[in-house]
């Protein structure tokens, strides 16, 4: 990507922008258009999208909310691009039928909800949660 195009993208996606998803290889791997001059093997990045401007109670702009679509780690960086892999893991509930021992944990920890009045919830409307070619990438 030439410098003019990069600066144009940076204006659109914010100062933290380093590149874009250019190819999706599988459910766990993708390629970005940032190479060794920007990223190194092991760097933690995130695929994001600027969703909505956030304003303080007095109306002052606090910036743009960036929805994190996924967290990735660089597994191979070349001069012009980098191959990245999902850095997120999931814990699945194990079936008691397959437990080797009754001491094996069959539960999964979840985040406890805050004590919030439901009428105060003003959720952001995320337009597209799926990672797509063209989505911006930044350091996590």
Which residue in this structure is represented by tokens 């805050």?
Answer: 114
More confident residue, 2 or 71: 71
Whole-number Å distance between alpha carbons of 73 and 42: 6
In this predicted structure, what is the pLDDT of residue 46? 97
Q: Whole-model pTM?
A: 0.79
In this predicted structure, what is the pLDDT of residue 94? 60
In this predicted structure, what is the pLDDT of residue 122? 84
In sequence order, the β-bridge partners of residue 139 are 45
Containing H/E element for 55? Answer: strand 44-55
In this predicted structure, what is the pLDDT of residue 58? 97
Domain boundary assignment for the chain: 3-139
79-126 pLDDT, tens digit per residue, is 999 999 999 877 666 666 655 666 666 666 767 787 878 888 888 888
Could you tell me the maximum CA-CA distance found in the chain, to the nearest angstrom? 61
> b or e along 104-132 (b: 16 or more beta carbons within 10 Å of the residue's beta carbon)?
eeeeeeeeeeeeeeeeeeeeeeeeeeebe
8-21 pLDDT, tens digit per residue, is 999 889 899 999 99
Q: Is the pLDDT of residue 63 over 80?
A: yes
CATH code reported for the domain at 3-139: 2.40.10.410
Question: How crowded is residue 60: how many other Cβ atoms within 10 Å of its Cβ?
Answer: 8
| Cβ(64)–Cβ(55) below 8 Å | no
Containing H/E element for 21? Answer: strand 17-24
In this predicted structure, what is the pLDDT of residue 103? 61
% of the chain at pLDDT higher than 70: 86
Question: Phi/psi at 54 (nearest 5 deg)?
Answer: -105, 135
In this predicted structure, what is the pLDDT of residue 3? 86
* 3-state SS assignment for residue 46: strand
For residue 61, what pLDDT band results from cuts at 50, 70 and 90? very high
């Amino acid at each position: 990507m030439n410098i003019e195009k990069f600066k144009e993208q940076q204006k659109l996606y914010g100062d933290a922008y380093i590149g874009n998803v250019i190819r999706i290889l599988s459910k766990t791997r993708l390629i970005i258009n940032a190479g060794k001059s920007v990223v190194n093997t092991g760097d933690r990045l995130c695929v994001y999208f600027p969703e909505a401007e956030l304003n303080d109670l007095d109306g002052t702009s606090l910036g743009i909310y960036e929805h994190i679509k996924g967290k990735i780690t660089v597994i191979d960086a070349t001069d012009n691009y980098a191959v990245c892999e999902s850095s997120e893991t999931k814990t699945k509930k194990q079936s008691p039928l397959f437990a080797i021992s009754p001491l094996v944990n069959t539960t999964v920890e979840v985040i406890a909800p805050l004590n919030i009045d439901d009428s105060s919830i003003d959720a952001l409307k995320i337009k597209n949660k799926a990672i797509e070619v063209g989505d911006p990438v930044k350091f996590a």
